Amino acid sequence: MYLDFVKYFFKANNAHSIHSPFVFEFFNKVFKDKSIVPCSRFIEAERLRLMSSHKTIERKDFGAGIKKNTPQKISSLAKTSLKSKKWSQFLYRIVKFYDYKTIIELGTSFGITTAYLAKTNPHAEIYTFEGCPETLKIAKETFHNLEIQNVNCVEGNIDLTLGDTLKKIKKIDIAFFDANHREEPTLRYFETCLSLKSENSCFIFDDIYWSEEMKSAWKAIINHSEVTISIDLFFVGLVFFRKGIEKQHFVLK
Ligand SMILES: C[S@@+](CC[C@H](N)C(=O)[O-])C[C@H]1O[C@@H](n2cnc3c(N)ncnc32)[C@H](O)[C@@H]1O
C-alpha cells in the first residue's frame, strides 16, 4: 500500500490540470473546503467517548480483515475501523453541496460517519447497513445521544438485506461502500445499487488500495459503462454518472 501511495502521490493532480468544470467545482468547493462543520464538535465527542471506552463487544463479522466472532475492545474498533474526522467531514460536505437526500451507507460500525451524513439535513433519509448486532446497538446509542432521527438501521448480512431494502427506495443520491472490502461483494453491491442511481448520483468506495482485491474492484468500477467521471483520492474513490460528457478519470490530491 505504501508503494501505491507513492505512485498515487506522483500521479495526482491539483486544480490547474482539471479541465472538467464539474470536477473543477467539486475540487475547489467540496474537496478543498475547510470551513467548520457545525455538528462536528458533538459527533467528535461521541467518537472520543467510544475511543475511551473500556468495554468489549462480541463481534460478528462478515467483512474482510477482522477475526471472526471474537470479543473486541470498543476503543480499538473506534480507533481503527471508523472513517477519520477529515473523511467523515468530506462526506458531509459532498451531501451538503449536492443537496443529496437519499443516502446509503454499507457498513455502519458505531455510526460516526452515519451521524455526519444524517446531520446534513433532518429531511435527508439515511439507510445504513450493519451485520454485527452488538456494533449496531452502539451505533443506535450514538444516534440517540446526538438526537438523530433520520437514520434507518438495516441489521444483517448485506448480501441478504440490500436487495430487499432497495425495493423500498425510489432512488439513491449517494452511496458509501464501506463494509465488505472484498472484490466480489463490492462489485455485487455496486451492481445492485446501480439500478437506483440517477444522473446526479455519487457512489463512494472506501479503501480502494487496501488490497489487490479492492484495487481490482476499483478498476472494474471506473471502467463500467455507466460511470462517466471517476475520482481517485487514494483513501476513497468516487464515481459519477453524469450524461453528455466524455468518460474521464481523475487522480487528485
Ligand atoms: C469499516 S466499518 C464501517 C465504518 C463506518 N462507515 C464509519 O466510517 O464510521 C465496516 C463495518 O461493516 C460491517 N460489515 C462488513 N461486511 C458486512 C456485511 N456483509 N454485512 C453487514 N455488515 C458488514 C462490519 O461489521 C463493520 O462494522
Phi then psi for 120, rounded to 5 degrees? -65, -35
Rounded to the nearest angstrom, the gap between the alpha carbon of residue 40 and the centroid of all alpha carbons in its chain is: 17
Q: How many folded domains does the chain comprise?
A: 1
- What nine digits make up the cell of 237? 474513490
Residues sharing a CB contact under 8 Å with residue 121, sequence separation 6 or more, in sequence order: 95, 96, 99, 101, 150
DSSP 154: E
What's the pLDDT score for residue 66?
Answer: 53
Which residue of 40, 61, 108, 208 sits with most ligand 1 atoms within 8 Å of its CB, as the best mutation to test the pocket?
108
Closest atom of ligand 1 to 114 CA is 9
Q: Which amino acid is at 104?
A: I
What's the pLDDT score for residue 68?
Answer: 60
Range of the domain at 168: 2-251
DSSP letter string, 80-118: HSSPPHHHHHHHHHHHHHHT--EEEEE--TTSHHHHHHH
Helix (H) or strand (E) holding 4: helix 2-11
CA distances from 69 to 9, 131, 136, 248 (A): 37, 12, 15, 42
Q: Which residue is listed with cell 468506495?
A: 205
What's the pLDDT score for residue 65?
Answer: 55
Closest atom of ligand 1 to 135 CA is 27
pLDDT by 10s per residue, the chain, length 253: 889 998 898 888 877 778 899 999 999 999 999 999 999 999 999 999 999 999 999 998 776 655 567 799 999 999 999 999 999 999 999 999 999 999 999 999 999 999 999 999 999 999 999 999 999 999 999 999 999 999 999 999 999 999 999 999 999 999 999 999 999 999 999 999 999 999 999 999 999 999 999 999 999 999 999 999 999 999 999 999 999 999 999 999 9
What is the chain's length? 253
What's the pLDDT score for residue 70?
Answer: 76
Which residue of 60, 142, 178, 184 sits with most ligand 1 atoms within 8 Å of its CB, as the best mutation to test the pocket?
178
Distance from the alpha carbon of residue 97 to the mean position of ligand 1, in angstroms: 26
Q: Which residue is listed with cell 464538535?
A: 41
User: Do 72 and 53 touch, CB atoms closer than 8 A?
Assistant: no
User: Do 205 and 237 touch, CB atoms closer than 8 A?
Assistant: yes
Distance from the alpha carbon of residue 21 to the mean position of ligand 1, in angstroms: 34
Closest atom of ligand 1 to 110 CA is 9
Ligand 1 pocket, CB under 6 A: 61-63, 81-83, 105, 107, 109, 112-113, 129-132, 135, 157-159, 178-180
Which residue of 70, 106, 138 sits with most ligand 1 atoms within 8 Å of its CB, as the best mutation to test the pocket?
106
Q: Residue 145 sits in a domain of what CATH number?
A: 3.40.50.150
Closest atom of ligand 1 to 87 CA is 8
Which residue has the least CA distance to atom 14 on ligand 1? 179
